[in-house]
Homo-oligomer: A and B are copies of this chain.
Amino acid sequence: MRIGEIAALVGLTTRAIRHYHHVGLLPEPERRPNGYRAYSVRDAVLLARVRRLTELGLSLDEVRDALADDAGRELAEVLEELDADLARQEADIRERRCRLSALLAEPPGATGPVSPALAALLAQAPRTDSPSAAKDREYLTLMDATSSGSQEIFALLGTLVADPAVVELYERLDALAEAPADDPRIAPLAADLMAAVPEELFAAIPEDGAVVTGFKEALLAEYTPAQAEVVGRLMDAFMERGRG
């Protein structure tokens, strides 16, 4: 048989068969005088075996091991491992589909998918157009996606957010947008903000060490000087009390 014939017979492409030769899965057969590969029925049997195994999901390396004459022993081992792997993949896919369906069911949130804890928090928050509040929501979404222990933090924030007084605090921060770094409103706002934070929250903030340093700078860079002053004092307070 020529390569096209055996390919059609076992249901592979000629390219795949040549590839198997190339990687040493199947030895190159004899050649006809014109250079064409001349396949035997044995080759077809072997290729059929290869096809069944690859269709099961074995890699070519695994197929090579499984076909390495001592078949029985190795094969069962590889197959069990493969089954475990497939089980993992199946569970993985199921979980993804689960999250996907949750995502498809909730189109209004343009921010993307969020955890239930954060969703509850955002729903609870008073409506406001404050840019500072918008930023805060963004950062919360970030925490939600990155920090693992954010659930309890969101729960603690719930009590804070439910208070309509926070809107006023956000607006006072907004008002500092164009102010200089030594504006007299900075200190009292920082004090009021810290007073509004429940005590347990200071302990709940995770301490990621080096990461926090860079993050803090980046965060401050998002604010105008006077606002950064306020936010910076808040963060310093968190870092100090978090340690102690």
Q: Give the B-binding residues of A (Cβ under 8 A).
A: 1-2, 5-6, 8-11, 39-42, 44-45, 48-49, 51-52, 55-57, 71-72, 76, 79-80, 82-83, 86-87, 89-90, 93-94, 96-97, 99-101, 103-104, 107, 110, 112-113, 138-139, 141-142, 145-146, 208, 210-211, 213-215, 217-219, 221-222
In the complex, the answer to whether A215 meets B86 with C-beta atoms within 8 Å is no
A140 → B minimal CB distance (Å): 10
- The chain B residue sitting closest to A57, CB to CB, is B96
New A-B contacts (13) at CB < 8 Å, excluding given A41-B138, A42-B222, A82-B100 = A41-B142, A41-B222, A44-B146, A48-B142, A48-B146, A49-B145, A55-B96, A72-B107, A79-B100, A80-B104, A87-B97, A89-B93, A90-B97
The CA-CA distance from A145 to B9 in the complex, in Å, is: 10
In the assembly, how many copies of this chain are there?
A: 2
Interface of A is mostly: helix
Given A83-B101, A90-B90: A9 and B40 interface contact (C-beta under 8 Å): no
In the complex, the answer to whether A142 meets B103 with C-beta atoms within 8 Å is no
Given A1-B215, A113-B52, A215-B1: A9 and B101 interface contact (C-beta under 8 Å): no
In the complex, the answer to whether B222 meets A146 with C-beta atoms within 8 Å is no
- The chain B residue sitting closest to A100, CB to CB, is B83
In the complex, the answer to whether B145 meets A51 with C-beta atoms within 8 Å is yes
The CA-CA distance from A100 to B52 in the complex, in Å, is: 11
- The chain B residue sitting closest to A221, CB to CB, is B40
Given A71-B110, A82-B100: A41 and B214 interface contact (C-beta under 8 Å): no
The CA-CA distance from A211 to B97 in the complex, in Å, is: 43
Given A5-B210, A56-B100, A94-B90: A222 and B76 interface contact (C-beta under 8 Å): no
